[in-house]
Amino acid sequence: MAYDDQNIFAKILRGEIPCQTHDECDHTLAFHDIQPQAPTHILVIPKGAYTDMSDFAAHASAEEQAAFIAAIGRAATKAGLTEGGYRIIANSGAHGCQEVPHLHMHILGGEVIGPLRAR
By residue count, the chain amounts to: 119
- What is the rounded distance in angstroms from the CA atom of residue 96 to the CA atom of residue 115? 16
- Cβ-based nearer residue to ligand 5GP, 32 or 74: 32
The binding site for ligand 5GP (CB under 6 A) comprises 8, 17, 19, 31, 33-35, 91, 97-100
N-to-C CA span, the chain: 31
104 in active site: yes
- Cβ-based nearer residue to ligand 5GP, 64 or 90: 90
The answer to whether the CB of 46 falls within 8 A of the CB of 66 is no
Q: Minimum Å distance from CB 28 to ligand 5GP?
A: 15
Task: From the candidates 27, 102, 104, 106, give the one annotated as an active-site residue.
Answer: 104
Provide the annotated active-site residues.
Answer: 104
